Structure 1
Amino acid sequence: MTTSLLLNCDMGESFGAWTMGNDALAMPLIDQANLACGYHAGDPLTMQRSVALAVQHGVSIGAHPAYPDLQGFGRRHMSCTSDEVRALVLYQVGALEAFCRAAGTQVAYVKPHGALYNDLVRDDALFAAVLDACASYRAGLPLMVLALADNRREVRLAEAAGVPLLFEAFADRAYQSDGQLAPRRLPGAVHHEPQRILDQALAIARGEPFADIDGKPLRLRADSLCVHGDNPDALSVLRRLRAHLDAT
């Protein structure tokens, strides 16, 4: 039986003359848009246009803060202190919120990007810093984190901070046995075959096991499913998955 799983995409990642993603085509198919805030991608005009596109289609807006790493697209670890991480998250959420307020809406949740997102799985101090940024920005502002085989750590720390969590899974990424994403440097870490992406997405939506990168069964509980919408195959998967979820 399919659950009420939400669909999300990382968006607003164009910068200056450089265009990335098929945001205009993907936006009508999703429930949540994770919008870049200028540190790994995005610029003020892109942020403004992305917010307007999300509002047009009734899509919930999430801030997608990252390490200050434009050259590395936010995928490189940076040795930031907890205080620095708290400040850079607040800075980026506030920047996106300005465009949201101008458009008559608000940031609905926070989803860290790239290396920062992955570092939260391993570093309690950084995770606490991001939780504190969410709690101090607005009471009840949810944080989107990686759905693991066991999320008791994340639940414990979030409850202590008073921050609601949204658990996220990925349709187009391979997983390790503990539910962490397989590093992109490994062969097969990113799925490209549309049927495989769809099969994994539907398994997650139904709470059924799917194969990890070693072929062993893995089951995840997720509130939202990320499908990257920056290629035509992914858009095809999004359309098919949207139809499946809407039919249940």
Structure 2
Amino acid sequence: MFSAIEVDAPDIAALERAVLDAERAGHAFVTFPDSPRRPGVEAGVVAAYLARRTSRIGLAPTLHATTTEPFHLATQLASLDHASLGRAGWVVGATTDPADLATVGRTGAGDGEVADVVDVARRLWDSWEDDAIIRDVTTGRFLDPRKVHHVDFEGSGFSVIGPLITPRPPQGQVVVIGADTLGIALDVALVRATDPAEIADRAARARHAGAALVFADVPASFDPALVRDVVDGVHFRGGSPPVPESRGAHGATLRETLGLPRPRNRYEVAA
């Protein structure tokens, strides 16, 4: 069973120590909580700082779909995947708190907005095919324009033409993590509950909704043996979590560590 932990600390030095400890312990990935009004350095920047100070563990900052411009969000996560050589994840934040939304001049979030942001991010990550960059010194051509695509996305509250300004992430798609209550297909669905029966029921529903993996999202004191047969992993919050059962089972990328396939590029498939 996989394990992951939420890491929070009062300063970047303490945070780095905590993440390195988690890496040595063998956790699959760490998550970084964040909110629009949280003081200090934004979680995506923290993850980028740690990308070259770690070597195996996945790095998954919380970035809010309702307060972050979708194009910049997709670019930031693709850049994190490049910086970490394929270890980026994204905890999909979906705050609708009026005070949070006010930080970017919004008064509300539209229905289906989070699903639209995740959808367009995935499209933008595919907007460069894997072999779009050719670096042909003889002809002076850097890329093959036939393999860089406009996404032409029209959502309920925004539109994005694309393509991304960053080549396709090493993982193809950054690992998308989020609460099972978001109601969208996720790579890793987090079920925040402590009752094993409730976790089992919600895990089954998350799989039906398209989640590739389901993690119980629990306090550090929770006994993972209680849900061993109903989830793929456990995400611990706060305190000192137990040592993972599968220490050292890391792949070259976060997807490989979690046993998730590298998605084919939708535009390459269409062609």
TM-score with structure 2 setting the length: 0.46
Which structure shows the higher helix fraction? 1
The structure number with the bigger radius of gyration is 2
